[in-house]
Chain A
Amino acid sequence: MIVLLGVVVVILGFVTRRNPVLVVGVAGVFTGLIGGMDPLEVLAAFGRSFADSRSVTVFAVALPVIGLLERYGLREQARRLIGRLTGLSTGRFLTVYLLVRQVTAALGLTSICGPAQTVRPLVAPMAEAAAERTTGAQLPDRLREKVRSYAASADTVGLFFGEDCFIAIGSILLITGFVNSTYHQNLEPTQLAVWAIPLAVCAFLVHGARLLLLDRQLERQMALAHAEHDVPLPKGTDK
């Protein structure tokens, strides 16, 4: 039972926001020692499993290509293509962006979009502009926040439920690396990536539907906000 303290170390380390690499190292050494290994055996265990899980880090070979392409305007071109999606309502625009994010992540292009790359400079302003165009009025702060939050959510949901369809992503390689070295299996990344597709479809349907519903919510709340402004408030009351 005492080896379960190793799990407690991991949880405490992550919850208290210690450096994750350090948490993992400390938890590994600690679990090995209380599990009855002597220090040399712990070192050997670290070495052996590190050698067997080298496949987890091979995605680093893609960095020079992606770096080269970014230097030659990969992100700029992605931004231009997204910028052409004018004339859509807020919900429809964000649904299209969700799809773009999922498909590009599934092809391994996880870094061409993102909160800093596309959401702040492009997606959030375009979503806000679309809302103001369809309702014909300035967005109150509360609704502006809501539109921006939904823009961020389209990006994050799209990334999470797109990237696992790509074989060379950290999470897929972590699964194969861990299972193949620990349980002596021969699992291939493609087998896992295929099983990520059904949930990618679910994510698009669920979040896409919610993004489309955002249009109606915005209309209703804009109407409410207008009504509030039109009715004069009694004197001496705080709004």
Chain B
Amino acid sequence: MIKVEWLYWLVGLVFVVMAVQMAADRSNPRRWTSAAFWGLLGLTFPYGTGVANATAHNGGWTLPAEPLGLAVLALIVLAGFNFLGKGEPVTSTAQEREASATRLGSRIFVPALTIPLVAIVCASVLDTSGLFETGKATLIGLGVGCLAALVVGMLVTGERRLSVPLHSGRSMLEAMGSALLLPQLLAVLGSIFALAGVGTQVGRIVHGILPDNSTYLAVVAYCVGMFLFTVIMGNAFAAFPVMTAAIGWPVLIEQMHGNEAAVLAIGMLAGFAGTLCTPMAANFNIVPATLLELKDQYGPIKAQLPTALPLLVCATVIMALFAF
């Protein structure tokens, strides 16, 4: 049986290999701290197996959680105080890419489409085959899909050196920087909020405001809350753990028995509608205005606002109608 932990070890290995490449890259002004960050992140993946075993009491080998917590704080310090740098991207020239696009045509899309295709096959057809750990077929399918796509990609492009995808991937990793880790850290923050009782407190306030058992008002509170929090913070990912620990989980799912997947997926999208209207989400709304040399830097937001508001209404209505 293929276990999801194997996938985590693969992810860890990818980070460690890229960290070694970074340490050797003299064009990166912060190569040692960059390598320390990605290398440490890579090591947290296999170490996490032991911590997860201890939490799940599944009889596997266990490791204490405190050192991992310390490692996470070290990652936060390295990323938070700008210790991450970029090297010269290892890539082809524009002419080479044009020539290769002419040579390969739309065949270049085949490996990219392999990833979702394999993942979907694993999650549907192979899910009941007993080949994968129960309940983890999609994630494992993603890993299998990426490996399959790598093989297909090397066949289609005729590339023989495994170092080429690793170097190109590393450049993407450097370009994303600490943004890559943010979603996982926000999931951690959400857990700490829940442990410290933030959800219980906000739930109590919400309970005082909302009339008892009004599902529709609670749905409106969750969707509009996601929207407004995202507008204020500029990041739907950051709004999600707060609003979900406060209203989404305790009120909509536990108390009113909403469909988990529907409530959470649509709640996140209500936040995305908020991202469309806020200058706080500079990389999505202000950067394009600069790139397009607009005089009015709010031009894209003005074009998006009349779409975002109807979409917030759609999200609220769809959740109210189909999640309960």
User: Which residues of A come within 8 Å of B, CB atoms?
Assistant: 1, 3-4, 6-7, 10-11, 14-15, 19-22, 24-25, 27-29, 31-32, 34-37, 40, 42-77, 80-81, 107-109, 112, 115-116, 119-120, 124, 141, 145-146, 148-153, 155-157, 160-161, 164, 166-168, 170-175, 177-179, 181-183, 185-196, 198-199, 202-203, 206-207, 210
Contact = CB atoms under 8 A, between A and B. Distances in A.
Contacts of B23: none
Given A43-B70, A48-B55, A70-B168, A21 B80 contact: yes
A165 B74 CA distance: 34
B191 A31 contact: no
Contacts of A36: 196
B194 interface: yes
Given A61-B7, A112-B112, A167-B123, 18 more contacts: A3-B196, A28-B189, A48-B65, A50-B184, A56-B183, A60-B173, A61-B11, A63-B169, A68-B154, A149-B299, A160-B276, A167-B116, A178-B187, A182-B190, A191-B260, A198-B318, A206-B307, A207-B307
A49 B233 contact: no
Contacts of B27: none
Contacts, number: 455
B14 A64 contact: yes
Which label, helix, strand, loop or mixed, suits the secondary structure of the B interface?
helix
A77 B72 CA distance: 40
A161 to B, nearest CB: 7
A199 B229 CA distance: 20
Given A21-B79, A21-B80, A153-B304, A35 B196 contact: yes
Interface residues of B, number: 148
Which label, helix, strand, loop or mixed, suits the secondary structure of the A interface?
helix
Contacts of A35: 192, 195-198
B87 interface: no
A60 B15 contact: yes
B60 interface: no
B66 A40 contact: yes
Interface of B: 4, 7-8, 10-11, 14-15, 41, 44-45, 47-49, 51-52, 55, 64-73, 76-77, 79-82, 91-92, 97-101, 104-106, 108-109, 111-113, 115-116, 119-120, 123, 135, 137-139, 142-143, 146-147, 149-150, 153-154, 157, 159, 164-173, 178-198, 201-202, 229, 232-238, 240-242, 244-245, 249, 260-262, 264-266, 268-269, 272, 275-276, 280, 284-285, 287-289, 291-292, 294-296, 299-300, 302-304, 306-307, 310-311, 314-315, 318, 322
Given A51-B52, A195-B262, A107 B113 contact: yes
A11 B76 contact: no
11 contacts: A47-B70, A48-B69, A51-B52, A54-B52, A63-B172, A68-B154, A157-B304, A160-B269, A164-B268, A175-B264, A181-B191
